Structure formats: structure tokens, C-alpha cells
Chain A
């Protein structure tokens, strides 16, 4: 079945440094979603990418969907302590189910 893999598993950066997490699927995806989970919280939807090669920005966050629609990335410019959390990518499974990657946990040191 479809698998979604994310790297790295953990990332520790100094505040102000950039951060990138990568997501790869074993199959072509119709779309990909990204979620953020703060420590002690629940996953919260960030964005959905649908088109091949699509790039979307949310302030310091840049999301990309690969040309082949099998990979995606999330890049944070100049991290802040508020960026701490785990970032998940998710690809559609059967019906409306989502297949989540294992997530990248980001720690930002002031």
C-alpha cells in the first residue's frame, strides 16, 4: 500500500536558522496535506497542495509539491520559538482517509 515517509525525524535549530522537512510517497498523490502539532496539542491543518510543482507560502512557511506529485517539502525561514512542534505530511488513502508520515519534530533554541 501507499507509504508516506518523512525526513528528518528530528531537527534542532537555533532561533533564526532555516528548517526544512521532506515528505516522499511510494505512489503518485492526488494531493498532499500538511499539519502541525504543538507539544501537548493536537494536529492542526496547515495547507493542502494539489497541482504538480505547486508552491504556496504562509508568512515564513513555504510548501512545495513535486513535479511528479510524489514528494513535498515544508521550509521555514528564520525559525522562531513559536515554530516548535511536529510537522506531518499526509497523503490521501482510500476514500477520505489520510496516510500520515511519521512527522518531523522541530526544536528551536532561543
Chain B
């Protein structure tokens, strides 16, 4: 089954404790992206990657890091989380041919205390 998986699905942590949210897709997609969703603000892009070892900032990259060492994986790293990073995070992927529709993971709800 074609899918994007994220782990963990829920996470409560404390300020300053480094964390990683994993994202993996099994569709051989070149493009992957991270979004955060906050009430009233919609989906805002954090980082995206066009292919292995190619990443770029989205609209709200501050406080986040990413890496793309393998085509299928695109982890999101919060080196020193702060309460304003409490949010719902989605990973997405798409191919580079056809409609470029994005396939979203199930989401990770992060709370930073």
C-alpha cells in the first residue's frame, strides 16, 4: 500500500530536549516536505527536499533542521524545542511527473512544555 508514515504520532516533551520526527514514504517520490498546521494559520511549509541531499527552507524554517540521506526518509529535527513549536506536523511527498499531488502522512501532534 502506497503511504507516508510518521513517527511518533503523539509526543509531549519539555523545552530544550532534542527530538526527531521520522517520515518515510514507499512511493519512490523525489519530493518531500514538512508542514506545520496551527489553528487559523492553515498549512505552513517548514522545509522541503527535491531529492537526496537537496533540501531548502520553506516559509517557517526557524528552529528546525532536516536531512535527506535516503530517498525514502526525511526526518524533521528540533534541536532545542520551544513551546511555540507546539503544533500538528505533517510530512508529505510527491512525484515529479503527472499531477504532483502531495501524499500526506497521518500527522504528529507535538506538545512542548
A binds B: yes
Q: Which residues of B contact A44 (CB under 8 A)?
A: 104
Query: Which residues in chain B, 20-45, are within 8 Å of chain A measured between CB atoms?
Result: 30-31, 33, 35, 40-45
**Is the Cβ of B101 less than 8 Å from the Cβ of A88?**
no
Indicate if A42 sits at the interface (CB-CB under 8 A). yes
> When the two chains form the complex, which single residue of A42, A88, A97 contacts B107, counting CB atoms closer than 8 Å?
A42
Number of B residues near A (Cβ < 8 Å) is 27
* Per-position binary interface string of chain B over residues 71-113, scored 1 when its CB falls under 8 Å from any chain A CB and 0 otherwise: 0000000000000000000101010100111111111000000
**Is the Cβ of A42 less than 8 Å from the Cβ of B40?**
no
Q: Which residues of B contact A88 (CB under 8 A)?
A: 42-43
Indicate if A79 sits at the interface (CB-CB under 8 A). no
Interface size class of A (residues with CB under 8 A): 20 to 34
Q: How far is the CA of A96 from the CA of B50 in the complex (A)?
A: 8
**Is the Cβ of B48 less than 8 Å from the Cβ of A48?**
no
Q: Which residues of A contact B50 (CB under 8 A)?
A: 95-96
Binds B, one of A14-22, A59-67, A68-76, A99-107: A99-107
CB nearest to B29 among chain A residues:
A96
Indicate if A98 sits at the interface (CB-CB under 8 A). yes
Interface residues of A (CB under 8 A from B): 9, 33, 35, 41-45, 48, 88, 92-93, 95-103
